[in-house]
């Protein structure tokens, strides 16, 4: 019999979250971001839930090809563009839209001879200081791109540094000042800007983590009242029970000491499954439908929880590590990380089950 830990992927939750994005930014088209194998959920698994997306955005050529081979006929955006000239030989037949953030990528396009001109998204570095042309260089780059025969349409794009916890007006103003007279669709908003900065919605929005029900700030309380639904549930079972007396400890390093008689449940889940090793005592866990907490140190294959609030729970009791009732951000935040990392870090050894899809491939394979 397999080890009882498993992840369940909820397609209805992704559909729900996508519709929430559309209601929140009703005049925008939506790039559904599925980079990093759909944030650990699996591209092929979640693909049926993307029927209402206007486009798909990701990083890797391999992932872009996989999406096309699944039958997707709407736009596909490479968020970091191409890395070498040979990449354009793939972007051409698979009709990929390519982000362009530097002169070297323009050089590649100038030398390319695709069968059909390639759509691009020209990226401005409006203050993030990772990728993109600085505002002073952006119009020059746009003019150069407009003269390259291998380029078809030119979209205008930027990315926010702190839309999750601060104002974005300084970046929006920098972007608008340069692009005001330039033609082309605009794409500015990541997940945080979709939720909290309607000024930046523009022609396209690019939601990522909120499609999967996680907080773009990494803080669960920031999305209280926003009806996002978890797309992944990590679940397991109690595989052992111990009774501690006051003064006794549990786990490696003896980091937890009982201050009263306690029942401790041992859960089949550890850092080798993708649960954070640094999750401290007090991190929420749900056992047999009752919220309780982690005690002791997370080990490779097991962790321990306080069974005091769930007196009836014993061997075989169901455990939710994160999901519908325990937000992944509630586990990530006390562990010093963000929900993005935990979702992406789900280990290969964890069995994954997916809700039955009710969207056909034919419905998705609509013309661009």
- Residues marked as catalytic: 35, 252
58, 46 in Cβ contact below 8 A? no
Long-range (24+ apart) CB contacts under 8 A made by 352-357 are: 352/6, 352/7, 352/8, 352/9, 352/42, 352/45, 353/6, 353/7, 353/8, 353/9, 354/8, 354/9, 354/11, 354/42, 354/45, 355/8, 355/9, 355/10, 355/11, 355/12, 357/11, 357/48, 357/49
76, 119 in Cβ contact below 8 A? no
Nearest residue to 275 via CA among 220, 317, 313, 330:
330
C-alpha 106/C-alpha 129 separation (Å) is: 19
**The dihedral of CA 235, 239, 243, 249: what is its sign?**
negative
Which DSSP letter does residue 280 get?
P
* 3-class DSSP state of 305: strand
Q: Give the pairing of strands 118-124 and 97-100.
A: parallel
Helix or strand (DSSP H, E) at 328: helix 328-332
- What is the number of alpha carbons within 13 Å of residue 190 lying toward its C-beta? 18
HEC string for 189-229: ECHHHHHHCHHHCCCEECCCHHHHCCCCCCCHHHHCCCCCC
Burial 110-130 (b: 16+ CB within 10 A, else e): eebebeeebbbbbbbbbbeee
Backbone φ and ψ of 324, nearest 5°: -65, -40
């Amino acid at each position: 019999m397999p080890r009882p830990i498993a992840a369940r992927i909820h397609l209805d939750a992704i559909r729900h979250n996508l519709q929430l994005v559309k209601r929140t930014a009703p005049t925008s088209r939506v790039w559904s971001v599925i980079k990093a194998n759909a944030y650990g959920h699996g591209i092929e698994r979640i693909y049926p839930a993307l029927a209402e997306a206007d486009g798909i955005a990701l990083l890797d050529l391999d992932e872009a090809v996989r999406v096309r081979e699944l039958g997707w006929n709407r736009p596909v955006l490479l968020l970091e563009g191409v890395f070498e000239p040979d990449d354009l030989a793939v972007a051409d037949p698979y009709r990929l839209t390519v982000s362009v953030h530097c002169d070297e990528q323009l050089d590649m396009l100038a030398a390319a001879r695709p069968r059909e001109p390639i759509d691009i998204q020209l990226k401005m570095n409006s203050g993030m200081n990772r990728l993109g042309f600085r505002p002073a260089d952006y119009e020059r780059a746009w003019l150069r791109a407009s003269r390259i025969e291998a380029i078809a349409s030119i979209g205008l794009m930027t990315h926010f540094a702190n839309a999750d916890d601060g104002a974005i007006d300084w970046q929006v103003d920098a972007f608008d000042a340069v692009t005001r007279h330039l033609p082309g669709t605009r794409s500015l908003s990541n997940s945080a800007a979709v939720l909290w900065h309607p000024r930046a919605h523009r022609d396209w929005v690019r939601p990522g983590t909120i499609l999967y029900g996680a907080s773009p700030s990494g803080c669960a309380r920031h999305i209280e009242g926003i009806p996002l639904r978890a797309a992944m549930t990590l679940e397991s079972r109690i595989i052992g029970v111990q009774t501690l007396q006051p003064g006794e400890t549990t786990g490696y390093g003896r980091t937890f000491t009982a201050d009263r008689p306690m029942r401790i449940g041992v859960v089949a889940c550890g850092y080798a499954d993708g649960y954070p090793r640094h999750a401290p005592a007090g991190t929420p866990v749900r056992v047999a439908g009752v919220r309780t907490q982690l005690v002791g140190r997370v080990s490779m294959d097991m962790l321990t929880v306080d069974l005091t609030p769930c007196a009836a729970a014993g061997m075989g009791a169901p455990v939710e590590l994160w999901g519908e009732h325990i937000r992944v951000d509630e586990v990530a935040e006390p562990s010093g990380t963000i929900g993005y990392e935990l979702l992406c870090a789900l280990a290969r050894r964890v069995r994954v089950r997916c809700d039955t899809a009710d969207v056909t491939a034919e419905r998705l394979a609509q013309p661009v």
